[in-house]
C-alpha cells in the first residue's frame, strides 16, 4: 500500500515537472542565458563581427566610469524614473480615490483614463511630438494666448515634456490597481474611524494608505522598473535630443553597441542597468514590505 | 443563484455613497481631467480625416470639412498594411496562445507541487519581472543571431514567449488560490491524470485570469517596438510598429497620414480590450488584492 502511494506521488510529480519544463527551458534560453552572456561579453572588446573575442578584464567597466556620455544617460534615466515614480503614484492614487468616492459614471471615467496605455509607447511619443510642436501652438494662435509648448525643443524642458507623455500613457493603468485595492477595503474600518472622530484626511492617512500597502508595493516597483527601461518613447519623439539631453540608458546602449559596433562595451552598460534594476527592486520590496507588516 | 443575487445586492449597497456637494466637486474635477486625457485621442481622430490644406488653415479643434478616407488609403499603402498587419497578428496571436497555455500550466504546477524545485522555479521566474527584457536587449539580440533565429517567424515568437512568461506565471499564480482544491482532489480520485485535471477542472475556473493575461500580453506584444526592430529586418516579416516608425520619419510634415496609421494600429487592441474589459477588471482586482 505504502509503495503504491509512493509510486503515485512520484508519477504525479513527474507529470507536474512536464508541465513546468517547457516554460522553464524557453525562459532560460530567452532571458537567463542572455543575462550570463551579457556578463561574459562585458569582459571582452568584441565588435560584433570578428570571430575572436579579446578578453580585456575590467577595462570596459573602468572606461564606463570615465565616460561622460554614460554618466549623462544615467542622470537622465534617474531623473525620468524619480519624476515618474512620484507623479504617477500620487496621481494614480488620487484618481482612484476620486473615482471611488461615489461619483456617477465611474466606469466611463475608468475606461477614458485607461485607453492611452493601449497605445504603443512609440506612437505615444509621436503623438506628443505633434501635440507640442503643431497642435498646441495652433490652439495658442486660435485663442490668442502665448503659452510655451515646444517642450521637446529645449534641453531644459525636454524632461517635463517626456514626463507629460509618459504619465498620460500610464496613470490610468496604475489607477486601476489602486482602484481594485480601494474597493477591497471593508467599509466597517471607515465607520469605526469615523466613530473614533477621525476626519477625512486622517482616515485617508490612517485607514486608506495602510490598507493599500500591497497595491503601493506593486505600483512603486512597476513604475520604477518601467521607467528605467524607457526607450520606445524616445525613438519617435526626441531621438535622445536635443543634443543628448534625453538619451536614456537603453538608448545609449543601443547607439553604442548596434550603431557603434562596440558589443563588449555595450554589454558592460547592460550589466550596470541590470544591477541597478535588481538593487532598486530589492530595496523597494524590502522597505515597502516592512511597512506592510507594520500596518 | 439566490446567493449570487444577494452578493450583488451587497455590492450595490457598498457602492451607494451619498451624493454630496463634495462629490459634485470631485465629479467636476474628474470631468476636466477626463477631457484632458481624451483630447489627444480626439485630435488624432480629427486629423486622420483632414486634408493637407485643412492641416494649415483650420484650427486643430475644428471638425474636418468632410469625412474623407484618403489618409487611410494612403496609410494602408505606406504601411504595406496587408503584410505588416498579418505579420503582427500572427506574432501576437501565436505568442499569446502559447503563453496562455504555458503560463497556466506552469503557475498551477508551481502552486500545487510542494517539491523544492518548484519553489525555486517561482523565484526563478520572478527574476524576469525585476529585469525587463529591454535591459538585456543586446545579448537577446546576440543569442538570436547566433542561433539563426533573427529574421524568422519562429525566432520572434520564441522571444515574445520567453520575455512574457515570467509576468504571466506571476499573474496566474496569484489566481491559483481561487481554485478550490476539493474539486481537483475529487477529479483525481475519479482517476484523472495531472494533465486531465488541469484542462478539465482547473482551466475552466481560470477564465477571468486568462482574460487578464490575454489582454496584458496582447497589447504588450502588439505594441512592441524594440524586439521587433532588432529581430526583423526582412520586408515581408516586418511588424506594424516598425512600419509605423518608418512612416513617422517619412511623413513628419504631412502628418495626417501618420494619424490615420495610428488609428489603424490601435483599433484591434482597443476592440479586444473593450470586448474583454469585464473579465479584465475582475482579473486585475484579484491580482492586486493578493499582491
List, for residues A149-174, the tens digit of each pLDDT value. 777 777 778 888 899 999 999 998 89
Residues B133, B43 share a domain: no
Residue B131 has pLDDT above 50, yes or no: yes
Mention every residue, 6+ apart, whose C-beta is less than 8 A from residue A169: A116, A117, A119, A121, A124
* Average of per-residue pLDDT across B233-244: 87
Residue A231 is placed in which grid cell? Answer: 526607450
- State the pLDDT at residue B160: 92
Whether the CB of A50 is below 8 Å from some CB of chain B: the reply is no
Q: Which one, of A260, A214, A62, A27, lies nearest residue B131 by Cα?
A: A27
Quote the number of domains for chain B: 2
Quote the number of domains for chain A: 1
The pLDDT tens digits of the residues spanning A176-228 come to 888 888 887 888 888 888 888 877 788 888 888 888 887 888 888 888 888 88
Which residues does chain B have within 8 Å of residue A130's beta carbon, measured at their own beta carbons?
255, 258-259
* Average of per-residue pLDDT across B161-174: 87
Whether the CB of A263 is below 8 Å from some CB of chain B: the reply is yes
The residue assigned the cell 480629427 is B46
What DSSP state is assigned to residue A256?
I
> Model confidence at B17, in pLDDT bands (50, 70, 90)?
low
Residue A294 has pLDDT above 70, yes or no: no
> Model confidence at B118, in pLDDT bands (50, 70, 90)?
confident
Partner-chain residue, chosen from A16, A27, A253, that has the shortest CB–CB distance to B165: A27
Are residues A90 and A170 in contact, defined by beta-carbon separation less than 8 angstroms?
Answer: no
Let me know if residue B3 belongs to a domain.
Answer: no
Are residues A37 and B142 in contact, defined by beta-carbon separation less than 8 angstroms?
Answer: yes
Let me know if residue B42 belongs to a domain.
Answer: yes
A156/chain B closest Cα distance in angstroms: 24
Calpha distance B168→A23 (Å, rounded): 11
Let me know if residue A78 belongs to a domain.
Answer: yes
Residue B198 has pLDDT above 50, yes or no: yes
Let me know if residue A168 belongs to a domain.
Answer: yes
Q: Do B262 and A119 touch (CB under 8 A)?
A: yes
Q: Which one, of A170, A173, A213, A84, lies nearest residue B284 by Cα?
A: A173
Residues B60, B192 share a domain: no
* Average of per-residue pLDDT across B207-221: 86
Nearest chain A residue to B43 by CA distance is: A135
Residue A100 has pLDDT above 70, yes or no: yes
Q: Give the distance, in angstroms, between the CA of residue B82 and the centroid of all CA atoms in the same chain.
A: 22
> Model confidence at B288, in pLDDT bands (50, 70, 90)?
low
* Average of per-residue pLDDT across B111-134: 84
Residues B111, B37 share a domain: no
Partner-chain residue, chosen from A24, A232, A270, that has the shortest CB–CB distance to B225: A232
Residue B170 has pLDDT above 90, yes or no: no
CA dihedral B212, B217, B219, B225 (to 10 degrees): 160
Q: Do B245 and A225 touch (CB under 8 A)?
A: no
Partner-chain residue, chosen from A19, A139, A183, that has the shortest CB–CB distance to B61: A139
Identify from B139, B220, B261 which residue to disrupt to test chain A contact, counting A C-beta atoms within 10 A and taking the largest count: B139
* Average of per-residue pLDDT across B52-75: 74
Q: Do B138 and A184 touch (CB under 8 A)?
A: no
Domain that holds residue A171: 67-294
- State the pLDDT at residue B11: 46
Q: Do B112 and A134 touch (CB under 8 A)?
A: no
User: What number of other Cβ atoms are within 10 A of residue B269's Cβ?
Assistant: 18
| CA distances to A251, A273, B216, B246 from B225, in Å | 13, 20, 16, 12
Let me know if residue A22 belongs to a domain.
Answer: no
CA dihedral A20, A26, A28, A33 (to 10 degrees): 170
The pLDDT mean for chain B works out to 81
Q: Do B277 and A17 touch (CB under 8 A)?
A: no
Residues 138-177 of B with CB under 8 A from A: 138-143, 158-159, 161-163, 165-166, 169
Domain that holds residue B51: 17-68
Q: Do B223 and A122 touch (CB under 8 A)?
A: yes
Whether the CB of A174 is below 8 Å from some CB of chain B: the reply is no
Q: Do B223 and A32 touch (CB under 8 A)?
A: no
Between A91-105, B46-60, B173-187, the lowest mean confidence (pLDDT) is in B46-60
Partner-chain residue, chosen from A118, A131, A257, that has the shortest CB–CB distance to B270: A118
Residues B82, B51 share a domain: no
Q: What CATH number does the domain containing A260 carry?
A: 1.10.3720.10
Residues B171, B54 share a domain: no
Whether the CB of A273 is below 8 Å from some CB of chain B: the reply is yes
> Model confidence at B114, in pLDDT bands (50, 70, 90)?
confident
Question: Helices in chain B by DSSP H: which ranges?
Answer: 2-15, 21-48, 52-57, 70-78, 81-112, 116-130, 137-146, 153-173, 181-189, 194-197, 203-205, 207-223, 226-231, 240-250, 256-290
Q: Do A34 and B139 touch (CB under 8 A)?
A: yes
- State the pLDDT at residue B91: 93
> Model confidence at B16, in pLDDT bands (50, 70, 90)?
low
Residues 24-43 of A with CB under 8 A from B: 24, 26-27, 29-35, 37-38, 41
A73/chain B closest Cα distance in angstroms: 14
Let me know if residue B5 belongs to a domain.
Answer: no
Residues B81, B49 share a domain: no
Rg of chain B in Å (alpha carbons): 24
Residues B89, B44 share a domain: no
- State the pLDDT at residue B13: 44
Calpha distance B281→B215 (Å, rounded): 11
Nearest chain B residue to A26 by CA distance is: B162
Residues B213, B273 share a domain: yes
Which residues does chain B have within 8 Å of residue A109's beta carbon, measured at their own beta carbons?
30, 34
Between A21-35, A64-78, A80-94, B275-289, the lowest mean confidence (pLDDT) is in B275-289
Q: Do A128 and B273 touch (CB under 8 A)?
A: no
Let me know if residue B131 belongs to a domain.
Answer: yes
Mention every residue, 6+ apart, whose C-beta is less than 8 A from residue A133: A149, A150, A152, A153
Are residues B176 and B70 in contact, defined by beta-carbon separation less than 8 angstroms?
Answer: no
CA angle in degrees (0–180, nearest 5) for A286-A163-A69: 80
Q: Do A31 and B166 touch (CB under 8 A)?
A: yes
User: What number of other Cβ atoms are within 10 A of residue B81's Cβ?
Assistant: 18
Q: Do A16 and B112 touch (CB under 8 A)?
A: yes
Let me know if residue B36 belongs to a domain.
Answer: yes
Q: Do A277 and B166 touch (CB under 8 A)?
A: no
Q: What CATH number does the domain containing B195 carry?
A: 1.10.3720.10
DSSP output for A205-234: IIIIHHHTHHHHHHHHHHHHHHHHT--HHH
A239: left (phi over 0), alpha (psi -120 to 50) or beta: left
Calpha distance B160→B13 (Å, rounded): 44
Q: Map residue A144 onto helix, strand or coil.
A: coil
Mention every residue, 6+ apart, whose C-beta is less than 8 A from residue B101: none
The pLDDT mean for chain A works out to 84
Helix (H) and strand (E) counts for chain A?
Answer: 15, 0
How many CA atoms lie within 13 Å of A283's alpha carbon, on the beta-carbon side?
7
pTM value is 0.85
Whether the CB of A62 is below 8 Å from some CB of chain B: the reply is no
B72/chain A closest Cα distance in angstroms: 17
Residues 242-271 of B with CB under 8 A from A: 244-245, 248, 255, 258-259, 262, 265-266, 269-270
Residues 27-66 of B with CB under 8 A from A: 27, 29-30, 33-34, 37-38, 40-41, 43-44, 59-61
Cis check for the bond before A253: say yes or no (omega within 30 of 0).
no
Residues B135, B37 share a domain: no
Partner-chain residue, chosen from B40, B103, B245, that has the shortest CB–CB distance to A235: B245
Calpha distance A133→B60 (Å, rounded): 12
Residues B110, B152 share a domain: yes
The residue assigned the cell 506592510 is A292
Residues B164, B58 share a domain: no
Q: Do B223 and A119 touch (CB under 8 A)?
A: yes
* Model ipTM value: 0.84
User: What number of other Cβ atoms are within 10 A of residue B67's Cβ?
Assistant: 7
Q: Do B15 and A15 touch (CB under 8 A)?
A: no
Let me know if residue A229 belongs to a domain.
Answer: yes
Q: Which one, of A268, A278, A274, lies nearest residue A41 by Cα?
A: A268
The residue assigned the cell 553604442 is A256
Residues B53, B133 share a domain: no
**H or E element at residue A159:** helix A158-183
> Model confidence at A239, in pLDDT bands (50, 70, 90)?
confident
* Average of per-residue pLDDT across A255-266: 83
Give me the total of CB pairs closer than 8 Å, taking one residue from chain A and one from chain B. 264
Between A71-85, A103-117, B64-78, B124-138, the lowest mean confidence (pLDDT) is in B64-78
Exposed (0-12), middle (13-18) or buried (19+): which is B140, by Cβ within 10 Å? buried
Amino acid at each position: 500500500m505504502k509503495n503504491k502511494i509512493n509510486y503515485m506521488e512520484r508519477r504525479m510529480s513527474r507529470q507536474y515537472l512536464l508541465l513546468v519544463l517547457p516554460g522553464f527551458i524557453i525562459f532560460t534560453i530567452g532571458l537567463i542565458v542572455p543575462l550570463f552572456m551579457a556578463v561574459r561579453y562585458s569582459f571582452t572588446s568584441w565588435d560584433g563581427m570578428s570571430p575572436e573575442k579579446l578578453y580585456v578584464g575590467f577595462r570596459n567597466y573602468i572606461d564606463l566610469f570615465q565616460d561622460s556620455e554614460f554618466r549623462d544617460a544615467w542622470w537622465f534615466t534617474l531623473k525620468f524614473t524619480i519624476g515618474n515614480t512620484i507623479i504617477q503614484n500620487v496621481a494614480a492614487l488620487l484618481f482612484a480615490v476620486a473615482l471611488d468616492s461615489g461619483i456617477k459614471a465611474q466606469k466611463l471615467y475608468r475606461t477614458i483614463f485607461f485607453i492611452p496605455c493601449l497605445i504603443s509607447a512609440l506612437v505615444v511619443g509621436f503623438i506628443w511630438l505633434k501635440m507640442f510642436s503643431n497642435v498646441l501652438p495652433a490652439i495658442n494662435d486660435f485663442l490668442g494666448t502665448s503659452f510655451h509648448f515646444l517642450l521637446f525643443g529645449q534641453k531644459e524642458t525636454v524632461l517635463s515634456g517626456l514626463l507629460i507623455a509618459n504619465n498620460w500613457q500610464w496613470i490610468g493603468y496604475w489607477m486601476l490597481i489602486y482602484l481594485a485595492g480601494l474597493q477591497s477595503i471593508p467599509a466597517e474600518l471607515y465607520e469605526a474611524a469615523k466613530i473614533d472622530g477621525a476626519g477625512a484626511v486622517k482616515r485617508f492617512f490612517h485607514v486608506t494608505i495602510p490598507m493599500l500597502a500591497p497595491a503601493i508595493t506593486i505600483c512603486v516597483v512597476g513604475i520604477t522598473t518601467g521607467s528605467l527601461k524607457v526607450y520606445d518613447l524616445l525613438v519617435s519623439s526626441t531621438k535622445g535630443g536635443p543634443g543628448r539631453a534625453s538619451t536614456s540608458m537603453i538608448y545609449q546602449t543601443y547607439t553604442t553597441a548596434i550603431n557603434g559596433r562596440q558589443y563588449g562595451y555595450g554589454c558592460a552598460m547592460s550589466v550596470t542597468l541590470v544591477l541597478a534594476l535588481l538593487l532598486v527592486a530589492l530595496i523597494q520590496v524590502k522597505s515597502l514590505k516592512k511597512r506592510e507588516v507594520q500596518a | 443563484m439566490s446567493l449570487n443575487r444577494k452578493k450583488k445586492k451587497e455590492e450595490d449597497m457598498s457602492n451607494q455613497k451619498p451624493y454630496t456637494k463634495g462629490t459634485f466637486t470631485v465629479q467636476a474635477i474628474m470631468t476636466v481631467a477626463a477631457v484632458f486625457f481624451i483630447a489627444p485621442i480626439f485630435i488624432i481622430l480629427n486629423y486622420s480625416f483632414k486634408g493637407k490644406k485643412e492641416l494649415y488653415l483650420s484650427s486643430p479643434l475644428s471638425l474636418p470639412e468632410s469625412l474623407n478616407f484618403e489618409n487611410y488609403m494612403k496609410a494602408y499603402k505606406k504601411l504595406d498594411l496587408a503584410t505588416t498587419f498579418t505579420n503582427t497578428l500572427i506574432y501576437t496571436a501565436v505568442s499569446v496562445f502559447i503563453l496562455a497555455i504555458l503560463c497556466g500550466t506552469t503557475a498551477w504546477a508551481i502552486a500545487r507541487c510542494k517539491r523544492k524545485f518548484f519553489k525555486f522555479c517561482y523565484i526563478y521566474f520572478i527574476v524576469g519581472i525585476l529585469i525587463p527584457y529591454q535591459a538585456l536587449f543586446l545579448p537577446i539580440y546576440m543569442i538570436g543571431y547566433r542561433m539563426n533565429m533573427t529574421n524568422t517567424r519562429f525566432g520572434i515568437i520564441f522571444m515574445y514567449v520567453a520575455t512574457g512568461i515570467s509576468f504571466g506565471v506571476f499573474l496566474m499564480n496569484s489566481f491559483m488560490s481561487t481554485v478550490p482544491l476539493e474539486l481537483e482532489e475529487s477529479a483525481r480520485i475519479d482517476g484523472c491524470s495531472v494533465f486531465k485535471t488541469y484542462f478539465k477542472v482547473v482551466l475552466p475556473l481560470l477564465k477571468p485570469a486568462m482574460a487578464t493575461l490575454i489582454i496584458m500580453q496582447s497589447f504588450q506584444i502588439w505594441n512592441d517596438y524594440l524586439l521587433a526592430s532588432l529581430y526583423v529586418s526582412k520586408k515581408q516579416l516586418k511588424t506594424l510598429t516598425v512600419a509605423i516608425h518608418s512612416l513617422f520619419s517619412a511623413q513628419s510634415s504631412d502628418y495626417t497620414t501618420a494619424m490615420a496609421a495610428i488609428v489603424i494600429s490601435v483599433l484591434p487592441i482597443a476592440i479586444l480590450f473593450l470586448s474583454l474589459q469585464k473579465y479584465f477588471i475582475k482579473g486585475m482586482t484579484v491580482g492586486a488584492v493578493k499582491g
